[in-house]
Chains A and B, each alone.
Chain A
Amino acid sequence: MPEFELQYPLVLMLLLPAPLFLVLRRRTRHKLPFPAMMPEMRRLRPGFWKRYYNGIFFSLVYLCLIVSLANPGYSKETVEDFIESKWLFLALDLSGSMKRPISRFSDQTLGDLALDGIRSFIDMRRSEDYIGLVAFSSYAKLLAPLTFDKDLLKTKLELVRSKNHSRIYRELGAGGGTNASEAVWLSLSAFFSMLPEENRLSVEQIAGMREFLLGEPAALLDIPQKIRHAGLGTGMAVILFTDGRIEPTIRAHERRGGLPNLVNIITLMKAVGVRFYIISVGGEVDEAVQKAMEPKAGEPTVGRIFVTSRGLDRQQIEEVYREIDILETNRNLTRITLQPRWLRRPLLVFGFGLMILHLILRSLPRLRKL
């Protein structure tokens, strides 16, 4: 890609009539009729500069103005913009327990209620926030990566509404289990993949971390240095919408095998500072999870658990919203753009400078045109 470019090259066509303007200027210039012109007077003609400085200045100013309209760019510069945002992952439980109706008289399920909560949450968030969606039952499925497109998120949400009977809903509902830990791990992985290149983990490091997460609850975690210094924990949160019937204990781990342990994941989140909120719709949360969420002495809190009745409590969602709002903004994302160095402004300044200089010269006694 050539470094020199013109933003509006066709404007240069306006240079074509320039000689015509010069000829017209010459023709329409005021001339004093005089009867006594003699060949000897030729030696009294002014010098080249005095004779043509008007035309020279006119041509230069015209050239500057036209070229500034064409706006040439002579090189590119790299511009880095930090995108200050909050990264939020919403994890929705679609397990069998979430298919229970709210009441005997309602055809709405607990899942639909959670969906309404998520929808309100998306509406309330700021436009610069990156929000991702994960739905889970026996396994987790990434519905939408981190995006600021709220319409896309809402469309994806409609895919998992019970009355729509979409394929994704049927697939996720078929399992019936509650694998919240995999959903949260998926969300964390998505955060890690969004980190700058120098902070990204290698495949081996991720596998190693996963090994730790598969271990017994409260096992000592070895967190890679890359993650520790990545500035995680500012403006990142995972919000889990569930009915509380999550199985994070060692029993569940042993029974199912190969699943990350939610308690370990909460420990990891504590260590790296990612916030974790659980909105339990009409249910209770496992004791082990509650215990893991409680801060130990001298530790910061990792998040909160909100337990709602079997109805949408907008106030609680707003409370989560407020808590997230006070989080620091995340500056891990940078937008790098190549921007040509445009010459319009310098050319315009130069053109107007020449114009002013011309006016000054024209007012000098020795150079003024009578």
Chain B
Amino acid sequence: MKPPYLFNIQLKHPPRSQMSGDWAGLDKGTGYEFWGLRKYLPGDSWSRIDWKARARSGELYVREFLKDSAYNLLLICDVSPSMHFGRKFGMLQDLVISLAYAALHSNNPCGLLLFADRVLTWHPPSAAPQQFSRIVTALEQAPVMKSRQTRLAPALNFMMNRLSSCLGVIISDFHTDLENLRGLMDAADSRLPAHELVALHVLEESEYRLTGIEDGLLTLRDMESGHQMPLDLSRKEEFNALLRAAREKNIRTLAGAGIDSAVLPVGAADIQARVNTLFARRLAARV
């Protein structure tokens, strides 16, 4: 199966496991292991210039490194009813397939955890050849839950109990209470956290902005709790501001727990670039 996106998964921190062995990858990239020198090209960072080589040869050379590898990728997917709004679940499937493909293709173990208000499906990380089809099948057979809410904390607890370290990618719309994450992710302040987490916010356009809709009265029903609320669309701007504020608050809360976020609107043309930029940005912010 050809993945819809080609992701370049990069770790922010080296693995904490003492027994991880050679964790350098096969490709050149941003890492800790020196690979070689090459001539300076316009646009290269000056911090990479090897001044000793400059002194020896009189020309500018930059250092190249091996890309960090050897990670356990765990895809933590939200399959609550709210994720079935619009085309969000299809987008989630595309992301999972592409990320799993990227990890397994570079010989890294990949696992899957499906959750709603609790953990529903668990496939531990594995680099076995059939792991990709296992993940795809599990996603296709994901149970349609009728849960009344989405709870992320039990899923993260489960992950921490099962895996000593991993790179976790949370794919969700994050319509959940995130206040209890700070206590859970106390390792965020650590220089070398065992569990690196990344959040991909999969959202339909109407979840962060209402446009192209005329004034009127609308009754909304929460897809999870079933609560109803009439909405006056003449106050659309306030509604949009509220959604934006809630989204920013979520991102800040996640960042406070050490989880970097990328917002991925369904149907956006630059999904691949957004995810790769997230990984690159994290790497650039490496301590």
Contacts and interface: CB of A to CB of B under 8 A. Distances in A.
Interface of A: 29-38, 40-42, 44-47, 50-51, 365-370
10 contacts: A29-B219, A35-B204, A35-B223, A37-B220, A42-B229, A44-B239, A46-B232, A365-B215, A367-B216, A370-B216
A40 B235 CA distance: 14
A44 to B, nearest CB: 5
B233 A41 contact: no
Interface of B: 81-83, 85, 173, 175, 204, 206-207, 213-225, 227-235, 238-239, 242-243, 246
Contacts of A31: 219-221, 228
Among the interface residues B214, B216, B223, B246, which one has the most CB atoms of the partner chain A within 10 A?
Answer: B216
B230 A35 contact: no
A365 B175 CA distance: 31
B246 A50 contact: no
Among the interface residues A37, A42, A45, A365, which one has the most CB atoms of the partner chain B within 10 A?
Answer: A37
B229 A33 contact: no
A57 to B, nearest CB: 14
B175 A36 contact: yes
Contacts of A38: 242, 246
A214 B101 CA distance: 136
Contact of B220 (A32, A47, A50, A369): A32
A35 B231 contact: no
A368 B227 CA distance: 22
Nearest to A367: B217
B242 A44 contact: yes
Given A34-B223, A37-B220, A368-B217, A44 B228 contact: no
Nearest to B217: A369
A36 B217 contact: no
Contacts of A42: 229
Contacts of B213: 370
Contact of A35 (B207, B215, B229, B232): B207
Contacts of B231: 41, 44-46
A21 B238 CA distance: 34
A30 B224 CA distance: 17
B228 to A, nearest CB: 6
A274 to B, nearest CB: 79
Given A34-B85, A44-B231, A45-B229, A50 B243 contact: no
Contacts of A40: 242, 246
B217 A37 contact: no
A370 B228 CA distance: 15
A235 to B, nearest CB: 70
Given A32-B220, A36-B246, A38-B242, 15 more contacts: A33-B221, A34-B206, A34-B220, A36-B175, A36-B207, A37-B229, A38-B246, A50-B217, A51-B230, A365-B215, A367-B216, A368-B217, A369-B218, A370-B214, A370-B217
Contacts of B214: 365, 370
Contacts of A37: 220, 222, 225, 227, 229
B21 to A, nearest CB: 44
B216 A35 contact: no
Contacts of B207: 35-36
Contacts of B222: 34-35, 37
B119 to A, nearest CB: 21
B82 A366 contact: no
Among the interface residues A42, A44, A45, A365, which one has the most CB atoms of the partner chain B within 10 A?
Answer: A44
A175 to B, nearest CB: 95
A35 B239 contact: no
A336 B237 CA distance: 70
Given A45-B230, A46-B231, A35 B85 contact: yes
A58 to B, nearest CB: 15
A366 B232 CA distance: 8
A210 to B, nearest CB: 88
Among the interface residues B83, B229, B234, which one has the most CB atoms of the partner chain A within 10 A?
Answer: B229
Given A31-B228, A34-B85, A369 B216 contact: yes
Contacts of B85: 33-35
A29 B230 CA distance: 11
A35 B221 contact: no
Contacts of B217: 46, 50-51, 367-370
Nearest to A37: B222
